Amino acid sequence: MEQDVESPAIVRQPKLPKQAREDLPKQLAETDRAKKVQRYVQKDGKCNVHHGNVRETYRYLTDIFTTLVDLKWRFNLFIFVLVYTVTWLFFGFMWWLIAYLRGDLDHIADGHWTPCVNNLNGFVSAFLFSIETETTIGYGYRVITDKCPEGIVLLLVQSVLGSIVNAFMVGCMFVKISQPKKRAETLVFSTNAVISMRDGRLCLMFRVGDLRNSHIVEASIRAKLIKSKQTKEGEFIPLNQTDINVGYNTGDDRLFLVSPLIICHEINQNSPFWEISQAHLAKEELEIVVILEGMVEATGMTCQARSSYISSEIKWGYRFTPVLTLEDGFYEVDYNSFHDIYETNTPTCSAKELADMTNRARLPLTWSLASKLSQQGLPESEQEGQESKTSPDDEGKSQQTERNGDIANLESESKV
Q: What is the pLDDT of residue 10?
A: 43
Task: Give the whole-angstrom CA distance, residue 296 versus residue 215.
Answer: 7
Sign of the C-alpha dihedral computed for residues 114, 120, 122 and 127 taken in this order: negative
Query: pLDDT tens, 276-313?
Result: 999 999 888 999 999 999 998 878 888 999 999 999 99
0.95 exceeded by pTM: no
The residue-averaged pLDDT of 265-286 equals 92
Q: Are 341 and 314 in contact (CB under 8 A)?
A: no
Q: Is the pLDDT of residue 17 over 70?
A: no
Please report the pLDDT score of residue 390 as a whole number.
44
Report domain extents, the chain: 60-178, 183-354
Partners of 209 in the β-ladder: 188
Long-range pairs for 123-129: beta carbons < 8 A, 24 or more residues apart: 123/92, 123/93, 123/96, 126/92, 126/93, 126/95, 126/96, 126/99, 127/88, 127/89, 127/92, 127/96, 128/92, 129/92, 129/95
Q: How many Cα atoms are found within 13 Å in the side-chain-facing hemisphere of 228?
A: 10
Q: Which pLDDT value is given to residue 363?
A: 66
3-state SS string for 390-406: CCHHHHHHHHHHHHHHH
pLDDT at position 338? 95
For 352-378, what is each residue's pLDDT tens digit?
999 998 888 876 544 444 444 455 544
Q: What is the pLDDT of residue 364?
A: 59
- Using a pLDDT cut of 70, give the percent of the chain over it: 78
Give me the pLDDT at residue 415, please.
41
Tell me what pLDDT residue 30 has: 46
Instruction: Note the helical H segments in 111-254.
Output: 123-135, 149-177
Q: Report the topology of domain 183-354.
A: Immunoglobulin-like (2.60.40)
The per-residue pLDDT for 387 is 45
Confidence of residue 265 (pLDDT cuts 50, 70, 90): very high
Bigger pLDDT: 223 vs 57: 223
- Please classify residue 255 by burial: count the beta carbons closer than 10 Å to its beta carbon, then call 0-12 exposed, 13-18 middle and 19+ buried: buried
Give the mean pLDDT of 167-181: 87
In the predicted structure, residue 331 carries a pLDDT above the cut 60: yes
Cβ count near 247 (within 10 Å): 17
**Mean pLDDT score of the chain, rounded to an integer?**
81
Task: Convert the pLDDT of each residue in 62-119 to its tens digit.
Answer: 888 888 888 889 999 999 999 999 999 999 999 999 999 988 888 887 878 888 888 8
Using left for φ > 0, alpha for ψ between -120 and 50, and beta otherwise, residue 288 falls in beta
Query: Around Cβ 181, how many Cβ atoms within 10 Å?
Result: 10
Fold of the domain built from segment(s) 60-178: Helix Hairpins (1.10.287)
Who wins on pLDDT, 378 or 44?
44
Confidence of residue 416 (pLDDT cuts 50, 70, 90): very low
395 or 273, higher pLDDT: 273
Confidence of residue 25 (pLDDT cuts 50, 70, 90): low
Average pLDDT over residues 15-22: 49
**Of 179 and 222, more confident:** 222
| Residue 392: per-residue pLDDT | 45
| pLDDT over 70 (residue 381) | no
Residue type, 290: V
pLDDT of amino acid 395: 47
H helix or E strand, kind and range, residue 311: none
